[in-house]
Structure 1
Amino acid sequence: MAGPSSFGRYTHAIVRSVPDSLAAQPAGDGVEPVDLAKAHRQYGVYTGILRQKLGLQVIELAADEGLPRSVLVEDAAVIQADTALVTRPWEPARRGEVTRMKVLEELKMRVVEVTDDGATLDGSDVLFTGREFFVGISQWTNHRGAEAVADAFRDFAVSTVPVAGSSHLKSFCSMAGPDTIAIGSSEAAKKAMRTMEQLTDHHYDTLTVPDDPAGNCVYVRLGPKGSALLHRSPEEFPSSLPLFQKLADLTLIPAACSEVAKLGGALSSCSLLINKKLDR
């Protein structure tokens, strides 16, 4: 049986502003282009939630027009306690996002780099449960990338989970509490959940939501104030809201991210959360 949960209380969040070049990025088949004005509004609401409702110190990196997808900042690093593993994106065009994460060193974190040229790793494929890591083996992340996670975080078990299609692991699942996994209802999501259950020694409760994208939420401990769950807005996924409302002792905070979602992003994609007291 796994030991106590290592879910710390987050203190800081790293975000990156929306570049105008985001609007020129090709969306998925049949998906409307990114509405840049709407993307800016959603980003503003999101960062406002991090600051005002979650009480985090937000470190806002400037928009980088040469890296249009860099707003999906979660892909650039995997962070637990004082260790930050900078990743190695599958897309060569995105690797500049990693080299420009100098803020991690400025925050005096232990920064680990993926040194295997054959490895690919996106942070959106890495689910930390507070007890262990699950790494999605996907179009974006391979087994050698998962090995980099295991090398960087030796105090935790690291298991791999096959992910079909063009999704990341966290496209349809995330933590909705210290021992609760939110999971979508697609066959891909169900298969991934069965795999995680087979690989773990710990029992997790599951919250199954009808919409895969709603399975990506952000759980945050608020200390004496309790805990909060940042989830997709009911305007986007009304059928999933009643499921979240069944979670006890959580402050529910809705947020929309429809524009970055057109490029494969999710709520958790828009920030890197840090659970260590830092001097800055």
Structure 2
Amino acid sequence: MANMCPYGRFTHAVVRGIPETFGKPAGDGRENGEISVDLAKAQRQFGCLTGALRQKVGLQLIEIPPDPELPESWRIEDVAVIQGDTALITRPFKQQRRCEVEAVRRVMSELNLTVVEMGTEEGDSAGATLEGSDVLFTGREFFVGISSHTNRRGAEVLADTFRDFAVSTVPVCGGARLKNICSMGGPDTIIISNSDGAKKTLRMMEQLTDHHYEILTVPEESAANCIYIKGPSKRDFLLHRPTEECPDSISVSAATITPSSLSR
């Protein structure tokens, strides 16, 4: 959460624990096309993330307890898009994920944010789907990735909510979600994967924007998924995968680098 400045200082971070029902322990193989997940490793990585946010970055951490009935609820960025003092509660694509918004809505209200609801399938937002991992805010404008999770109607709802900023839609090429292939690496720096699909998406972004961004291309796709934070101590941080997970990627020197083992 940031203040009213477009890319203001972050003060809080809201996270949600990983439930025991998320995935399956590694070694069970694949069933019905599902990829096995090392639950213990994911929970350790979650601990690394929360520790970095609290101890290194200095944010006030709000942790929503895990819910075994909601196995994907740890993907908390999907259910709210926050800019300034406004929180847009989204509508995830999967019907079974839509109950995740309830706990997040309560936290947003407790933080005294103006809460905007996408609401039910009826009304002005009928048919809209939007997940936060398809939303890239650059500090100047929004890019919304059109993917299997987010549609154009969802992007229109976001544009109607944040009218002070331009909102452009781009196809997500070569990744499941927009922020799987690109993220912010600084106030005017976009980190992007070296894949052909990511390059295609970037070309679309460049055609749609009036702003100039520095582009940092990284060889590994996972290295493109970072979290840029303007910390409360007037230091900038970039949370990214550990070097051993992305050995070929370019080091980013424009910010204070904080490695953290993260799951996508």
User: % of aligned pairs identical?
Assistant: 56
Q: 2:108 aligns with which of 97, 104, 109?
A: 104
One-letter code of the match for 1:256? S
One-letter code of the match for 1:49? A
- C-alpha displacement of 1:237: 1.1
Name stretches of at least 5 consecutive residues in structure 2 with no aligned partner.
Answer: 120-124
- C-alpha displacement of 1:23: 2.9
Secondary structure of 2:223 counterpart: helix
Give the stretch that moved more between structures: 138-147 or 107-116: 107-116
Distance 1:111 1:28 in 2: 40
One-letter code of the match for 2:43? H
1:68 and 2:75 correspond: no
1:256 and 2:258 correspond: no
Q: How does 1:26-37 map to 2 (within 5 A)?
A: 33-37=36-40
Q: 1:57 aligns with which of 50, 57, 60?
A: 60
Name stretches of at least 5 consecutive residues in structure 1 with no aligned partner.
Answer: 266-280
- C-alpha displacement of 1:163: 1.1
1:180 match: 189
Q: 2:220 aligns with which of 211, 230, 234?
A: 211
Kept in 1, the 8 Å contact 2:21–2:68? The answer is: yes
Kept in 2, the 8 Å contact 1:139–1:166? The answer is: no
Cα deviation 1:26-76 (Å, max 9, x = unaligned): 989988511111111111111000000010000000000000010010001
The 1:29/1:219 distance shift into structure 2, 3 A limit, reads: farther
Distance 1:165 1:202 in 2: 24
TM-score, normalising length: structure 1: 0.85
1:8 match: 8
Q: How does 1:1-280 map to 2 (within 5 A)?
A: 6-24=6-24, 33-101=36-104, 102-115=106-119, 116-164=125-173, 167-222=176-231, 225-240=234-249, 243-245=250-252, 247-248=253-254, 250-257=255-262, 260=263, 265=264
One-letter code of the match for 1:124? S
- C-alpha displacement of 1:235: 1.8
Kept in 1, the 8 Å contact 2:241–2:260? The answer is: yes
Secondary structure of 2:21 counterpart: helix
Give the stretch that moved more between structures: 65-74 or 33-42: 33-42
Cα deviation 1:226-250 (Å, max 9, x = unaligned): 311111111211111xx124x23x1
2:122 match: none
1:270 match: none
1:277 match: none
Cα deviation 1:251-280 (Å, max 9, x = unaligned): 1111112xx4xxxx2xxxxxxxxxxxxxxx
Q: Which has the higher contact order (CA 8 A, sep 6+)?
A: 1
- C-alpha displacement of 1:142: 0.3
Distance 2:53 2:235 in 1: 15
- C-alpha displacement of 1:164: 3.3
One-letter code of the match for 2:204? T
- C-alpha displacement of 1:212: 1.5
Secondary structure of 1:69 counterpart: coil
Task: Tell me how many residue pairs correspond in the alignment.
Answer: 251
Kept in 2, the 8 Å contact 1:64–1:70? The answer is: yes
Distance 1:223 1:16 in 2: 22
- C-alpha displacement of 1:166: 5.6
Give the stretch that moved more between structures: 159-168 or 120-129: 159-168
Distance 1:215 1:27 in 2: 27
The 1:35/1:113 distance shift into structure 2, 3 A limit, reads: same
Distance 1:70 1:215 in 2: 22
The 1:238/1:27 distance shift into structure 2, 3 A limit, reads: farther
Kept in 1, the 8 Å contact 2:174–2:198? The answer is: no
The 1:45/1:122 distance shift into structure 2, 3 A limit, reads: same
TM superposition outliers: structure 1 runs of 4+ over 6 Å? 25-31
